[in-house]
A and B are shown apart, each in its own frame.
Chain A
Amino acid sequence: MGIKSPLITLMPNKTFFWFFLPTGLAMILFIGLPIISTGIQSFYAQHDQVVKEVKKCDPFGCTVSIVVDQEKTSKIREEKPLGKFNGFGTYVDRNHLAIEEIGKFWNETNSFGEFVDQVTNLPFYKALIFTLTYCLFVTPNVLLLGFIIALSLNAVTRRIRGPLIFGTILPMIVTPLVGSLVLFWMIDAEGIIGANLQMLMDDPYLSLKSSKTLTWITIIIYGIWHHSPFAFVVFYAALQTVPQEPVEAAIIDGASRWQRVRHIVLPHIYPVVTFVALISLMDNFRVFEPIIGFSAEGSAQSLSWLIYDNLVNEEVILFGSAAATSMMTIVGIAILLAPVLIRTWKEFRTAR
């Protein structure tokens, strides 16, 4: 691999170890171990409350009532804080893969459409479908819009590009929560865009919360708004490296602007497109802050949001449920990354 210097060939293992130890330790302790911890937690479920029968007698007779044994419940929770072992129970329950329910729906529903309807109402599948829809619509549009902005800005006089680029990247540098809030305050029924839309459509009840489709569209538009600047920046930098001779030759040969973009520019920046698509897909898959920003929990839930919701549960934190969803999210990420990893591995093997 590479040209080796004749004098010092390799950094000794021992030196490498000491240089890498701090960062390696940080990553193992706080990224590697938590993944394992999540895996373990996903096999446990919180304890049921211990109940006891209380016999109460008064002059009219005795009644037996069932009450929660607070003392025993807190004792068992203290002894086994992780909860009770549940195996794959959490994975298949109603809030996750819902195997039983799906079987039931399959038998009970009359048409396939009805079956799909029932299944997509289950929390996990609902979230999965939203997450995938979001990725599917946001990623390609981000690539397209980012590319168009890059081409446009690249044609502007160099002197005024600086401020234009600054304006363009603003949506990207704010945190998603702030970005979605800023848009939400305009789009909401009491905001500037929302109020004008109501007037235009002549519908005083038109609002984001009233329609599921509208909410989804808004969040997707937010996603494109937030991520396009990233695609723009990368494409813009790549455009600076397009060789000029073929472009000039094409102009002389009478190639149209579109032909030049299609046959010279696009092939040149193709590797960058894959990179942007991959990063953007990874980021879109974890969408969840906009759902909070747009207060859209009612009609749009993502996988990450489900985990968040379990973790901020008021009565008792649902560690097991959150962990099971997390593990399945990680599997999803692995599926997304697999093609890239396989390609890298092949390249690595041929390089040796």
Chain B
Amino acid sequence: MEYGLDKRSNALKIFNTTFIVVWLLVACFPFIWTFWGSFKVRADFFSRADWWYAITAFNTLLETGGKFTTDAYSQAWTEGEFWKASRNTVIVTFFVVTISLFLGTLGAYALSRSTRNYAFWILIAALIFRAMPHITLVSGYLFPFFQLQIWGILPTTIVVLVAINQPFTLWLLYSFFKTVPKELDESALIDGCSYFQAFRHIIMPVMWPGVITAGLFSLMLAYNDFTVTALLLNQENHTMVPKIQSYLGTNQHEGNLMWAVSAVVSATAPLFMLVMFFQRQVISGLTAGAVKG
């Protein structure tokens, strides 16, 4: 039965529809607008004279001869070296996801199968770690990393992101493994398997739904991170998000704003596609810890 559809007055129906339309506009329009504007020149998208230029493409026509231009993209990707930033993002994301899942599944499986007190306290500690603002951790890393001379390189950042990501991954996979019946692996143990063999042959084949959800969240964390990547990577190794910030320019250097706009679109598009395909997993992950209370 459709909850709440009973004896619904027309006024309420209209109100409900209007509200949803307005909200969706608020939620999506900024992205549509940025996408549209990324094919214009700066004088149109950031027009001092008339914002309507962004629609009519007045200056874009003058400067490039067409209503749409991909100049911002081609310049940002070549001159702006956005290709390098996106390559770095791919490397960081790939390794963070793989290592996170490897460590996370092992740890979370053990937590879900242990009924001792320390398992409970480890989960609480993970919750506290999850609450730490990343910038406070970064302020702890910088000095030792400078001393050890491992600052600025991709492997350091990957390891740090994996660690920062562990608390959430552990909680997510822990609540997933709790739903996998204990009898499955226990029967294997009775048959003489070791815990590792039981994990390898019994748990691994059934854990993929949970792993995909956890993987998506690790991916979003690594892909979206700004705090860690901006401060722990040198210019050369910057990933996409800090790169976008560098296009904005500071007071001393005039940035190239249209590069930033096209870079934002380039960085956001793959993420949106991914979420479109895996919408159900994202939502189940967000609610995993919550709905059980």
Interface residues of A (CB under 8 A from B): 1-2, 4-5, 7-11, 13, 15-16, 19-20, 22-24, 26-27, 29-38, 41, 81-82, 148-149, 151-158, 162, 164-171, 173-178, 181-183, 185-186, 188, 190-192, 195-196, 225, 229-230, 233-234, 236-239, 241-242, 244, 247, 251, 257, 271-272, 275-276, 282, 285-286, 288-289, 292, 295, 303-304, 307-308, 310-312, 317, 319, 322-323, 325-327, 329-330, 333, 336-337, 341, 344, 348
Contact = CB atoms under 8 A, between A and B. Distances in A.
A88 B2 CA distance: 62
A275 B289 CA distance: 9
B136 A285 contact: no
A315 B293 CA distance: 49
In the A-B complex, the 8 residue pairs with the smallest Cβ-Cβ separation, listed nearest first, are A34-B140, A30-B163, A19-B110, A23-B107, A175-B224, A286-B133, A271-B293, A326-B136
B206 interface: no
A34 B34 contact: no
Contacts of B227: 288-289, 308
Given A27-B126, A344-B124, A233 B139 contact: no
Contact of A19 (B26, B142, B146, B195): B195
A177 B245 contact: yes
Given A27-B167, A272-B291, A275-B290, A11 B139 contact: no
Given A38-B136, A148-B19, A182 B114 contact: no
Contact of A348 (B45, B120, B136, B231): B120
B14 interface: no
Contact of B272 (A27, A164, A173, A348): A173
Given A2-B115, A167-B28, A181-B264, A33 B140 contact: yes
B208 interface: no
Contacts of A81: 143, 146-147
| Listed residue (A11, A168, A329, A348) with the most chain B CB atoms within 10 angstroms of its CB | A11
Contacts of B275: 166, 169, 173
Interface of B: 1-8, 12, 16, 19-20, 23-24, 26-28, 30-31, 33-34, 37, 45-48, 50-51, 54, 102-104, 106-107, 109-111, 113-116, 119-120, 122, 124-144, 146-147, 159-160, 162-164, 166-167, 170, 182-183, 186, 189-190, 195, 199, 220, 223-227, 231, 241, 244-245, 248, 260-261, 264, 267-268, 271-272, 275-276, 279, 282-284, 286-287, 289-291, 293
B230 to A, nearest CB: 8
A182 B231 contact: no
Q: Mostly helix, strand, loop or mixed at chain B's interface?
A: helix
Contacts of B114: 10-11, 16
A178 B269 CA distance: 12
A333 B127 CA distance: 12
Contacts of A188: 46
A286 B135 CA distance: 8
A30 B291 contact: no
A326 B135 contact: yes
A259 B125 CA distance: 40
Contacts of A19: 106-107, 109-110, 195, 199
B186 A330 contact: no
Given A5-B186, A304-B133, A311 B138 contact: yes
Nearest to A14: B195
A286 B195 CA distance: 40
B166 A167 contact: no
Contacts of A239: 3
Given A10-B115, A233-B283, A304-B135, A155 B163 contact: no
Given A169-B275, A225-B26, A319 B19 contact: no
| Listed residue (B119, B264, B289) with the most chain A CB atoms within 10 angstroms of its CB | B264
B27 A11 contact: no
A31 B19 contact: no
Given A30-B160, A35-B140, A173-B275, A20 B286 contact: no
A120 to B, nearest CB: 22
Given A19-B110, A31-B164, A173-B271, A329 B133 contact: yes
A294 to B, nearest CB: 11
B7 to A, nearest CB: 8
A242 B3 CA distance: 9
